[in-house]
Amino acid sequence: MTRDSTKGDDEPDTDADPDDRSPGRDPSPATDRSDGTPFGAPEQAPGDPNRQEAGTQDGGQSPSSEQRGEDGQGTTAAGSDSTHARRSRKAGGREQRSERESDSWTLVVRDVTVTVLAVLLVGAYLFAISGVWPPMVAIESGSMEPNMDVNDMVFVMDEGRFQPAAATGDTGVVTARTGDGTGYGEFGNSGDVIIYEPGGSDAETPIIHRAIFWVEEGENWCEQGNPEYLGSLQPDDAVCEADHDGFITKGDANSNYDQASIGRATGPVRPEWIIGTAELRLPRLGWFRLQF
């Protein structure tokens, strides 16, 4: 290859082979790379010309992407943990409320059960003592005032369970006439107070009155009684002759014998009509029984 003689020695030979350059000559930094960047300058990622590789302006290190990612992940995890904690607290609160409600119902059921069992036990105990069911009766009228009032509850006992010595025959009942001579009495007056079914019918409301005296079949009970309590009856009336043995009865507040009153006993009270004798009065407790 020959040189053009018209070119000076100082002009660069553009046709010369780059490998023929003089070895002592320093390469120009501006032309060391084909893209024009100085040799040794840090390479930038393609498409990210503004990426900053240097430190921050205050000399600190910029957080790496891994650090940012870890921080971000930590923040998300913390948020998730907080949400989970709130949900756990809500769930725990619901469970506690449910447990409290369950405990409340358990207590109610237990209290009701205990109350029912207590009532049954008391009833069974009273029945064992009295021999009568139900062992308690409620007073519906004022016929026994002032010794028994309306709404009082009265404990009843089988008349034959504990027979007093002054009882009439084997009836277990002491009459007011006998009590006047022996000093035996119940509820403010002589004699026993009995509960009996009128005519022996369990469909009728039982009557609780005092047994006044005993009469035998065929006797004229009007002649044996107090004329003040006969009402319109006369001793010669047919109803005054007893057609069976029994008790002549009267309410303490009434003006006539039951056997002389319309709508009460039609004759002497037979012993088998008697439910029991009144033994104990509980004031006002019969109101519940009468209402329900």
Mean per-residue pLDDT, 108-118: 90
- pTM assigned to the model: 0.62
Residues paired with 247 in a beta bridge: 214, 269
**CA-CA-CA-CA dihedral for 231, 235, 237, 240, to nearest 10:** 80
pLDDT in tens, 156-207: 999 988 888 999 999 999 999 999 999 999 999 999 999 999 998 888 899 9
| Four-residue CA torsion sign, 219, 220, 226, 229 | positive
Q: Is the model's pLDDT at 19 over the cut of 60?
A: no
Whether the Cβ atoms of residue 208 and residue 277 lie closer than 8 Å to each other: no
Give residue 82's pLDDT: 64
Q: What is the Cα–Cα distance from 104 to 289, expressed in whole angstroms?
A: 30
Give residue 236's pLDDT: 92
Mean per-residue pLDDT, 222-227: 95
- Residue 256 burial (10 A CB sphere; 0-12, 13-18, 19+): middle
**Percentage of the chain surpassing pLDDT 90?**
45
Q: What is the Cα–Cα distance from 169 to 195, expressed in whole angstroms?
A: 18
Q: Which residue has the higher pLDDT, 149 or 32?
A: 149
Whether the Cβ atoms of residue 192 and residue 173 lie closer than 8 Å to each other: yes
Give residue 149's pLDDT: 95
DSSP string, the chain: ----TTS-TTS--TTS-GGGS-TTSPPPGGGSSTT-PPTTPPP--TT-TT---S--TTSPPPPPHHHHHHHHHHHHHHHHHHHHHHHHHHHHHHHHHHHHHHHHHHHHHHHHHHHHHHHHHHHHHHHHHH--SSSEEE--SSTTTTTS-TT-EEEEE-TTTS--TTSSTTS----HHHHHHH--EETTEEB-EEEE-GGG-TTSPPEEEEEEEEE-TT-BHHHHS-GGG-TT--TTSGGGB-SS-EEEEE-TT-SS-GGGSTTS-SS-B-GGGEEEEEEEEETTTHHHHHH-
Domain coordinates of the chain in residue numbers? 75-130, 136-291
Centre a 10 Å sphere on the Cβ of residue 149 and count the other Cβ atoms it contains: 15
Give residue 2's pLDDT: 41
Token pair 């007893």: residue = 242
Q: What is the Cα–Cα distance from 250 to 231, expressed in whole angstroms?
A: 12
